[in-house]
Chains A and B, each alone.
Chain A
Amino acid sequence: MLSTIPDFLPATAEIFILFSILLLMLIGVCKLDKSIDILDYLAPCLTLCTLIVVFLLPQNNIYTFSGSYINDQLAFVSKIFLLLANVIVLILSKSVHKHENLKIFEIPVLILFATLGMMMMISSSDIIIAFISLELTSLSLYILTAIDRNYKPASEAGIKYFTYGAISTAFFLFGLSFLYGITGSTHFDHIANDLSSILVNKEDTTLAIIGIIFITISFMFKLAAAPFHYWLPDVYQGTKLTITTLIATTPKFAIFVLYVRFLTQVLPAFSYIWKPLVLTFAILSLFFGTLGALQQKNIKRFLAYSGTMNIGFVLLGVAQFTTTGIAAAGFYMFMYLLTLIGIFASLMYMKKKGFNIQTFDDLTGMSEQYPLLSFSFCIGIISLAGLPPLPGFIAKAYVLYSLLLEEHYLIAIVAVLTTVIATAYYLNLLKSLMIDALQTVYRQPARQTGYTIKLIIMSLISLVLIIIFTPNVWMKIATKTAIDLLH
């Protein structure tokens, strides 16, 4: 740990993806006419290679760069999920960008940059690395949001995303400066030790509390928890479908992982401060997300509000600060993102067919023309709503179980009541898709599609169905990670 030459081995995956990005940029700049096609195929392949590298890395040496970089169980599990999700996003974006006017070679490069940032975020054990990786991810996403210069809503979304993101970054940095000011260190472990000694010696904790509040608020911004969720629907609505898929899924997951790591490894001593804080934001998210979604007619805005509501559930689990709670939150997040990617993939499939699905009404009649597609869409929605027998229910029950274990009865009742209201709008979506009769005449698909998206949708749906029968496997991974994190 103290040697002058750092051990690069634990960070091999990140280094690999960095060189991949450089290679892709070179190809993109050199061969202008065919470079995009090459990049389209190369980017998912290289991400898959990174995944293999993550798998092959030895698990015994977890710290490097003087302890500021960590590659533990949490990082391992999260990176696998992150990279898999990003492979899917890259493949999806490859198959629709022709129809979205997004044939720009920077897109795969920027997605990979964001991936690099997220991987670093997951592995960071130092506040400077955490900040740099957060910025790397955010900046790539800002550019991606506004990359289509001729599409006005995209510019609007980009400005909004950038402004809110910058504010939240400022909050984050400000909060970190407090922690650094008190402890004089940037390492997670050192800060944690100093903070707990402050509590033990009964010194003044005001500055630390202010710092924690600022950091929590900045994370709530990034996770789009209420009342800091207002940017999310606008950003979703303004961006192209490919980019929305990216923004909605993996960055949230990486930020969630960083947040959990921050809470459990830096601030465990101050859990009496952040527990009620997170719980409050969780309940607010449940309320605002549910009530906001009730009135939505636009699918993307609806998904944004439902995202806020689901983040509320995740935060409920996190706020318990128990093994069960954190495992439940992780499992919930995993299930949520899995079904969300499935739903986005279905939307992209329709997009590729030539249907521009914006509102609920645009879905009408799809079930008669594309039964299999609407079936998988249904599975996604029902699982997102957390209705049995789909695995979304198991995740929801797990979070509720962690709440009841800590005897938060009232909060559990509030949570289930919002679930009932939330089910009403998920049913509304199902109604548009399955029940409403076809208003217009038979809509001819504009073009034939390949098998790529179909294959992705089918594999996601089969994964969801597999999880019903093997929940133990997934929950054990979550529990093992949570135990590893807390002890």
Chain B
Amino acid sequence: MHFPILSILILLPFFGVLVLSIIRGQDEIVSRNAKNVALLITTINFILSLYLLYQFEYHYTGMQFEEIYPWISAFEANIHFGIDGLSVYFIVLTNLLMPICILASWTQIKNRIRPYLMCFLFLQSMLLGTFCSLNLILFYICFEATLIPMFFIIGIWGGEDRIYASFKLFLYTLFGSIFMLLAILKVFIETGETNFLLLQNYDWHLHLDRILFLGFFIAFAIKIPMWPVHTWLPIAHTQAPTAGSVILAGVLLKLGAYGMIRICLPLFPNASIYFSEYIIILSVIAILYMSVVALAQTDMKKLIAYSSVAHMGFVTLGIFSFTPQGLSGAVVQMLSHGIISAGLFLCIGVLYDRFHTREIKDYGGLFQSMPRFSILFLTLLLGSAGLPGTFGFLGEITVIIGTFRRFPNIAFLSAMGMILSAAYGLWLYRRLCLGPESEAVKKIPSSGIDVTKNERFNLSILVIISLYFGVYAQPLFGIINPFVKKIEGIFKPRFVKQFEGDDDILIISKQKDVKSVINNS
């Protein structure tokens, strides 16, 4: 029995919830201690996850750090944890963003800080559980349980319209995922198994897999969110507190796409191929239409929210293009979006704390009073727009290359989405930071309103990660590749024609940096 590091990663935040619940004393002391405890626990978790990354065997295709404990025998639902190349970076991402979230709410959240932190720690526990679980029932429970803390985070500490936003988030997601529950139960009745790994390559009869696929897909599509079911996201983002937005954009949206890669593709390959064209059309609509909608926004948080939908469109596009580049590009795009959109929401939080408005027209000429902020903001925006040399470019270009092999027209259209994202990103920057100072900005004394040490620390970490992976992506692709090869092994026999004589399909993995990727394509 090896060191149960995954259980510890998942249970430590849960333990933190218990510790927070027994802190006693005066309000001020309680809030100070609660913040310290939460920060300590999330930091320990982050360090543990780095250790996990260090111990991870890069070339091994199976599950690592596996743990299994019996749980509900009626559904064969065991507490079964394990990670592979797909999940390890998401665990690190979650653990990276959590301390940042807590630091970001250090002074912003004034009332009821203790339950706030408890919500975040519980959320972290459930998110890690989702990424680690290898059992459908356990996955569903963790996937759904993220809703409850999110409901409270938006509902209690959100903006003016927070109740509508939290109800919409909860009911929308619940509506989708309740069908996933039925699909999971049906899978269990059909196969007698709820373990992902054992369910791969199961032979579904009578197109049952199509119905089951839809059951899973609707849940994940709402969570991602894909185009016509995205309407909960902008309102949830605008009403959530900064840290809530960060975790929502950074990790929660990835749950859907993670579920698609982890469950939909390996379990229902035929159904995935059957529906792939429709999904690709939806993804392209999401990319183009949401980018145009983002252009028209007057609220900057909404703008970033719509751009998130567009960026997640690249993810679904990559997943359902069934090319190795598309798939690894989708994973990279998820990670890059997790870093960059989290940073952008932090930036908006910084502005909102100072000027108390999210309307773009109230801003202008921030560069003069907040130069440091403007530089960090610009780097993140360019990353979001997919400038070469940033993390954002890597994911998008890989997805486009992957799609190009099967659907050149679609690839062309989605490349237009990159242009649009540059358009709304740069236009947003021009309106916020350049030009003459606006009335609202002039009202605030310009000295000392630049980012504080705390905010600078948070943003710099994200910017550094974005730039680092923008120029040196080998560690990412190196870890993802064994998993991509496994999925490819499932799909290759079904696409013999497309892949004929095409043995170097994992071009991307062999590239050392981004420039040569461009040359090759």
Contact = CB atoms under 8 A, between A and B. Distances in A.
Interface stretch (A95-103, A225-233, A386-394): A386-394
Nearest to B162: A435
B51 interface: no
Contacts of A472: 70-74
Interface string A412-434: 11001101100110010011001
A400 B141 contact: no
A401 B156 contact: no
A382 interface: yes
Nearest to B118: A375
A6 interface: no
B174 A420 contact: yes
Contacts of A431: 155, 163, 167
Interface in A145-192: none
Contacts of B289: none
B171 interface: yes
A471 interface: yes
B74 A475 contact: yes
A207 interface: no
Contacts of A400: 181-182, 185
B181 A397 contact: yes
B189 A401 contact: yes
A404 interface: yes
B182 A405 contact: no
Contacts of A371: 114-115
Interface in A424-482: 424, 427, 430-431, 434-435, 471-472, 475-476, 479
Contacts of B166: 435
A401 B145 contact: no
B141 A435 contact: no
A382 B151 CA distance: 12
B186 A416 contact: no
B75 interface: yes
Interface in B1-56: 21
A434 B178 contact: no
A401 B112 contact: no
B175 A420 contact: yes
Contact of A368 (B112, B148, B162, B182): B112
B74 to A, nearest CB: 5
B181 A404 contact: no
Given A394-B72, A435-B155, A389 B171 contact: no
Given A382-B148, A404-B186, A405-B189, A420 B74 contact: no
B13 to A, nearest CB: 14
Contact of B151 (A388, A389, A398, A427): A427
Nearest to A435: B155
A430 B147 CA distance: 14
Given A388-B141, A472-B70, A416 B178 contact: yes
Contacts of A476: 73
A416 B182 CA distance: 9
Contacts of A423: 170-171, 174
A387 B146 CA distance: 11
B185 A401 contact: yes
B199 to A, nearest CB: 17
A435 B70 contact: no
Nearest to B125: A389
A393 B155 contact: no
Given A412-B182, A423-B171, A435-B163, A388 B71 contact: no
Nearest to A331: B74
Contacts of B167: 424, 427, 431
| Residue of A324, A389, A404, A479 with highest tally of chain B CB at under 10 A | A389
Interface string A183-220: 00000000000000000000000000000000000000
A471 B148 CA distance: 21
A472 B79 CA distance: 13
A420 B171 contact: yes
A412 B181 CA distance: 11
Contacts of A471: 71-72, 74
A434 B182 contact: no
Given A371-B115, A397-B185, A472-B71, A416 B179 contact: yes
Interface residues of A, number: 36
A435 B112 CA distance: 11
| Residue of A372, A405, A430, A435 with highest tally of chain B CB at under 10 A | A435
A300 to B, nearest CB: 24
A312 B163 CA distance: 29
B174 A388 contact: no
Contacts of A427: 151, 167, 170-171
B75 A397 contact: yes
B188 interface: yes
B142 interface: yes
Nearest to B126: A389
B317 to A, nearest CB: 30
Interface string A84-125: 000000000000000000000000000000000000000000
Contacts of B156: 434-435
Nearest to B167: A427
B204 interface: no
B140 interface: yes
Given A435-B155, A471-B71, A424 B171 contact: yes
A324 B166 CA distance: 36
| Residue of A375, A388, A472 with highest tally of chain B CB at under 10 A | A388
A375 B20 CA distance: 13
A256 to B, nearest CB: 20
B152 interface: yes
A475 B72 contact: yes
A401 B136 CA distance: 14
A401 B144 contact: no
A420 B148 CA distance: 14
Interface string A372-388: 10010000001000011
B145 A389 contact: yes
B128 to A, nearest CB: 13
Given A424-B171, A475-B74, A388 B189 contact: no
Contact of B145 (A388, A424, A435, A479): A388
A405 B72 CA distance: 17
A31 to B, nearest CB: 44
Nearest to A400: B185
Interface in B164-202: 166-167, 170-171, 174-175, 178-179, 181-182, 185-186, 188-189
A348 to B, nearest CB: 22
B163 A398 contact: no
B203 to A, nearest CB: 20
Nearest to B137: A397
Contacts of A401: 74-75, 185, 188-189
A397 B188 CA distance: 12
A387 B148 contact: yes
A389 B156 CA distance: 21
A387 B171 CA distance: 12
A393 B141 contact: yes
B88 to A, nearest CB: 24
Contacts of B174: 387, 420, 423
A437 to B, nearest CB: 9
Contacts of B21: 372, 375
A404 B178 CA distance: 14
Nearest to B69: A469
Interface of A: 324, 367-368, 371-372, 375, 382, 387-389, 393-394, 397-398, 400-401, 404-405, 412-413, 416-417, 419-420, 423-424, 427, 430-431, 434-435, 471-472, 475-476, 479
Q: List 8 tightest A-B contacts by C-beta distance, closest first.
A: A388-B141, A388-B144, A416-B178, A435-B155, A389-B145, A471-B72, A389-B141, A401-B185
16 contacts: A324-B74, A371-B115, A387-B174, A388-B140, A388-B141, A400-B181, A404-B185, A420-B171, A423-B174, A431-B163, A434-B152, A434-B155, A435-B152, A471-B72, A472-B72, A475-B74
Given A389-B142, A420-B175, A479-B74, 5 more contacts: A397-B185, A404-B185, A405-B189, A427-B170, A435-B156
